[in-house]
Amino acid sequence: RHPLATFFHLFFRVSAIITYLLCDWFSNSFVACFVTILLLLSFDFWSVKNVTGRLLVGLHWWNQIDEDGKSHWVFEAKKLSTAAASSEAEAQIFWLGLIICPVIWTMFFFSTLFSLKLKWLALVIAGISLQTANLYGYICCKLGGQKSISRTTSFVAAD
Protein backbone atom coordinates (compact mmCIF):
# COMPACT_ATOMS: atom_id res chain seq x y z
CA ARG A 1 0.00 0.00 0.00
CA HIS A 2 2.91 2.33 0.42
CA PRO A 3 5.25 1.42 -2.39
CA LEU A 4 7.03 4.76 -2.35
CA ALA A 5 7.75 4.48 1.37
CA THR A 6 9.05 0.94 0.95
CA PHE A 7 11.27 2.08 -1.87
CA PHE A 8 12.74 4.94 0.10
CA HIS A 9 13.15 2.81 3.19
CA LEU A 10 15.56 0.62 1.32
CA PHE A 11 16.94 3.15 -1.14
CA PHE A 12 19.06 5.26 1.20
CA ARG A 13 20.43 2.34 3.19
CA VAL A 14 21.32 0.24 0.20
CA SER A 15 22.81 3.23 -1.68
CA ALA A 16 25.02 4.01 1.28
CA ILE A 17 26.32 0.44 1.39
CA ILE A 18 26.84 0.27 -2.37
CA THR A 19 28.61 3.63 -2.42
CA TYR A 20 30.89 2.49 0.37
CA LEU A 21 31.79 -0.68 -1.50
CA LEU A 22 32.22 0.94 -4.90
CA CYS A 23 33.61 4.32 -3.96
CA ASP A 24 36.85 3.67 -5.75
CA TRP A 25 35.01 3.33 -9.03
CA PHE A 26 32.91 6.48 -8.66
CA SER A 27 35.51 8.97 -7.70
CA ASN A 28 39.10 9.26 -6.64
CA SER A 29 38.25 11.66 -3.91
CA PHE A 30 37.96 10.37 -0.38
CA VAL A 31 36.15 13.50 0.70
CA ALA A 32 33.42 13.23 -1.92
CA CYS A 33 32.73 9.63 -0.98
CA PHE A 34 32.76 10.41 2.73
CA VAL A 35 30.33 13.28 2.39
CA THR A 36 28.03 11.36 0.04
CA ILE A 37 27.83 8.33 2.28
CA LEU A 38 27.34 10.50 5.35
CA LEU A 39 24.50 12.39 3.72
CA LEU A 40 22.88 9.15 2.55
CA LEU A 41 23.12 7.75 6.07
CA SER A 42 21.60 10.90 7.56
CA PHE A 43 18.72 10.97 5.09
CA ASP A 44 18.16 7.29 5.75
CA PHE A 45 18.06 7.87 9.51
CA TRP A 46 15.60 10.72 9.18
CA SER A 47 13.30 8.99 6.72
CA VAL A 48 13.21 5.68 8.56
CA LYS A 49 12.62 7.38 11.88
CA ASN A 50 10.01 9.89 10.78
CA VAL A 51 8.29 8.48 7.74
CA THR A 52 8.65 4.84 6.86
CA GLY A 53 8.22 3.48 10.38
CA ARG A 54 4.89 5.24 10.75
CA LEU A 55 3.68 4.23 7.34
CA LEU A 56 4.84 0.66 7.10
CA VAL A 57 4.47 -0.68 10.63
CA GLY A 58 2.71 2.03 12.61
CA LEU A 59 5.54 2.59 15.08
CA HIS A 60 7.08 5.88 16.06
CA TRP A 61 9.70 6.90 18.60
CA TRP A 62 11.03 10.28 19.58
CA ASN A 63 12.66 12.30 22.27
CA GLN A 64 10.68 14.85 24.20
CA ILE A 65 11.89 17.42 26.67
CA ASP A 66 9.57 18.72 29.38
CA GLU A 67 9.39 22.21 30.70
CA ASP A 68 11.67 21.35 33.57
CA GLY A 69 14.33 20.13 31.23
CA LYS A 70 13.96 16.40 31.70
CA SER A 71 14.17 14.42 28.55
CA HIS A 72 12.02 11.40 27.85
CA TRP A 73 12.17 8.86 25.09
CA VAL A 74 8.66 8.12 23.93
CA PHE A 75 7.85 4.94 22.06
CA GLU A 76 4.53 4.65 20.37
CA ALA A 77 2.92 1.67 18.76
CA LYS A 78 -0.37 1.78 16.95
CA LYS A 79 -2.39 -1.38 16.69
CA LEU A 80 -2.91 -1.91 13.02
CA SER A 81 -6.46 -2.63 11.99
CA THR A 82 -7.29 -5.86 10.20
CA ALA A 83 -7.52 -4.00 6.92
CA ALA A 84 -3.82 -3.35 7.14
CA ALA A 85 -2.97 -7.03 7.44
CA SER A 86 -2.27 -7.07 3.72
CA SER A 87 0.84 -5.03 4.31
CA GLU A 88 2.49 -8.01 5.91
CA ALA A 89 5.04 -8.03 3.12
CA GLU A 90 5.85 -4.38 3.73
CA ALA A 91 6.32 -5.03 7.42
CA GLN A 92 8.68 -7.86 6.60
CA ILE A 93 10.67 -5.70 4.23
CA PHE A 94 10.81 -3.02 6.88
CA TRP A 95 12.19 -5.28 9.56
CA LEU A 96 14.58 -7.08 7.23
CA GLY A 97 15.99 -3.79 6.01
CA LEU A 98 16.22 -2.53 9.56
CA ILE A 99 18.13 -5.56 10.83
CA ILE A 100 20.37 -6.52 7.93
CA CYS A 101 21.98 -3.15 7.28
CA PRO A 102 23.48 -2.58 10.75
CA VAL A 103 24.88 -6.10 10.52
CA ILE A 104 26.53 -5.22 7.22
CA TRP A 105 27.99 -2.03 8.66
CA THR A 106 29.35 -3.98 11.60
CA MET A 107 31.10 -6.29 9.14
CA PHE A 108 32.52 -3.20 7.44
CA PHE A 109 33.76 -2.04 10.82
CA PHE A 110 35.79 -5.18 11.33
CA SER A 111 37.08 -5.24 7.79
CA THR A 112 38.18 -1.61 8.06
CA LEU A 113 39.84 -2.23 11.38
CA PHE A 114 41.75 -5.28 10.27
CA SER A 115 42.77 -3.95 6.89
CA LEU A 116 43.94 -0.78 8.63
CA LYS A 117 42.09 1.60 6.36
CA LEU A 118 41.48 3.72 9.36
CA LYS A 119 40.35 6.88 7.63
CA TRP A 120 37.07 5.14 6.89
CA LEU A 121 36.57 4.18 10.50
CA ALA A 122 34.80 7.39 11.50
CA LEU A 123 32.29 6.90 8.71
CA VAL A 124 31.65 3.26 9.54
CA ILE A 125 31.14 4.10 13.20
CA ALA A 126 28.70 6.86 12.22
CA GLY A 127 26.83 4.38 10.03
CA ILE A 128 26.62 1.77 12.75
CA SER A 129 25.40 4.29 15.34
CA LEU A 130 22.70 5.78 13.15
CA GLN A 131 21.32 2.48 11.94
CA THR A 132 21.53 0.77 15.31
CA ALA A 133 19.74 3.71 16.90
CA ASN A 134 16.80 3.24 14.57
CA LEU A 135 16.81 -0.52 15.11
CA TYR A 136 16.86 -0.10 18.89
CA GLY A 137 14.14 2.53 18.85
CA TYR A 138 11.80 0.40 16.78
CA ILE A 139 12.46 -2.71 18.86
CA CYS A 140 11.53 -0.72 21.97
CA CYS A 141 8.35 0.42 20.24
CA LYS A 142 7.45 -3.10 19.25
CA LEU A 143 8.11 -4.53 22.71
CA GLY A 144 6.25 -1.69 24.38
CA GLY A 145 3.28 -2.18 22.09
CA GLN A 146 3.05 -5.89 22.71
CA LYS A 147 2.81 -5.45 26.45
CA SER A 148 -0.40 -3.50 26.39
CA ILE A 149 -3.90 -4.30 25.22
CA SER A 150 -5.13 -0.79 24.58
CA ARG A 151 -5.50 0.47 21.05
CA THR A 152 -2.89 3.13 21.23
CA THR A 153 -0.06 2.71 23.62
CA SER A 154 2.83 4.83 24.50
CA PHE A 155 5.72 3.76 26.61
CA VAL A 156 7.76 6.45 28.20
CA ALA A 157 11.28 5.91 29.38
CA ALA A 158 13.18 8.56 31.29
CA ASP A 159 16.52 9.53 29.86
Partner 1 sequence: RRAPQAGRAALPFLLKRLVNTQFADLADMSISEDIAVEGEITVPVGAPSPDEDFSTLDEPVRETIMRDLKAVGKKFVHVMYPKKSSTLLRDWDLWGPLVLCVSLALMLQGGSADSKEDGGPQFAEVFVIIWFGAVVITLNSKLLGGTISFFQSLCVLGYCVLPLTVAMLVCRLVLLAGSGTVSFIVRLIVVLAMFAWSTLASTAFLADSQPPNRKALVVYPIFLFYFVISWMILTFTPQ
- Shortest approach of partner 1 to residue 62 CB, angstroms? 8
- Shortest approach of partner 1 to residue 96 CB, angstroms? 20
- Shortest approach of partner 1 to residue 20 CB, angstroms? 14
- Shortest approach of partner 1 to residue 106 CB, angstroms? 19
Give the residues lining the site for partner 1 (CB under 8 A). 2, 4-5, 28-32, 34-35, 38, 42, 46, 50-51, 54-55, 58, 60, 62-67, 69-72, 74, 76, 78, 80-81, 83-84, 119, 121-123, 150-154, 156, 159
- Shortest approach of partner 1 to residue 119 CB, angstroms? 5
Closer to partner 1 by CB, 64 or 92: give it.
Answer: 64
Closer to partner 1 by CB, 103 or 122: give it.
Answer: 122
Question: In sequence order, what DSSP letters do the residues of 47-91 get, joined into one string?
Answer: HIIIIIIIIII-EEEEEEE-TTS-EEEEEEEEPPPGGGGGGHHHH
Closer to partner 1 by CB, 32 or 96: give it.
Answer: 32
Closer to partner 1 by CB, 74 or 100: give it.
Answer: 74
- Smallest CA-to-CA distance from 105 within 87, 86, 82, 121 is with 121
Closer to partner 1 by CB, 115 or 159: give it.
Answer: 159
Q: Give SS3 for 155.
A: strand
Distances (CA, A) of 156 to 20, 124, 142, 144, 153: 36, 30, 13, 9, 10
Dist CA 159 CA 157 (whole Å): 6
